[in-house]
Amino acid sequence: MASASMKKADMLVSLIIIPICLYVFYESGNWPKQALIGAPTLIPWGVAACLLMAAGMQFVRALAGKSLPLEERLTGSNRRRVIFAALLTGGYAALVSYGGFLITTFLYLALFSLAAGERRWIRLIVFAVTVPVAIYLIFAAILNVPLPPGIFR
């Protein structure tokens, strides 16, 4: 029996990502151009273009039969970890505007790291604190991109 591959998953993910990228191109193309900041479409178009190229390459590789082999089926505790991570990500997206970026991102990264198997508490805490603070400093403090303040309004 031939070993299973990620062909179906690769094709499905590509077929989900491609229309999303096309929608980003369409929607951001309608944004008004502001004189002080230049073209606000630069970042969404750049990200969408990179994702579109990656999804296209993934789809072509899947069609050519060059998808990565599937080591084993997702069962037991591995399946529970993946489901937990998916639910955690959905919960984070739903709660970040209420809890604020810093607090919810810290909790999300700490719980996600636990789900991914990290058991060294020092490393987990440093990661869960450093990443949101760095993102906050770069986007909110330097680039003036508003992040959800949550309880810090």
**What are the boundaries of each domain within the chain?**
1-71, 74-148
How sure is the predictor about 29, in pLDDT bands with cuts at 50, 70 and 90?
confident
How sure is the predictor about 124, in pLDDT bands with cuts at 50, 70 and 90?
very high
What integer pLDDT is reported at residue 38 of this predicted model? 62
To which H or E segment does residue 13 belong?
helix 7-28
How sure is the predictor about 3, in pLDDT bands with cuts at 50, 70 and 90?
low
pTM of the model: 0.67
Rounded to the nearest 5°, which phi and psi values hold at 69? -70, 150
Which tokens hold the place of 40?
A: 């606000």
Q: Is residue 63 predicted with pLDDT exceeding 50?
A: yes
What integer pLDDT is reported at residue 1 of this predicted model? 36
Q: Is residue 8 predicted with pLDDT exceeding 70?
A: yes
Average pLDDT over residues 128-142: 92
Q: Is residue 73 predicted with pLDDT exceeding 80?
A: no
| Cα–Cα distance for residue pair 70/121, rounded to 1 Å | 31
Burial of 111 (C-beta count, 10 Å sphere; 0-12/13-18/19+): middle
Name the DSSP letter for residue 150.
G
Cα torsion angle, 118, 120, 124, 126, sign = negative
Task: Give percent of the chain above pLDDT 90.
Answer: 50
| Cα–Cα distance for residue pair 153/148, rounded to 1 Å | 9
How sure is the predictor about 148, in pLDDT bands with cuts at 50, 70 and 90?
confident
To which H or E segment does residue 21 belong?
helix 7-28
The whole-chain average pLDDT of the chain stands at: 86
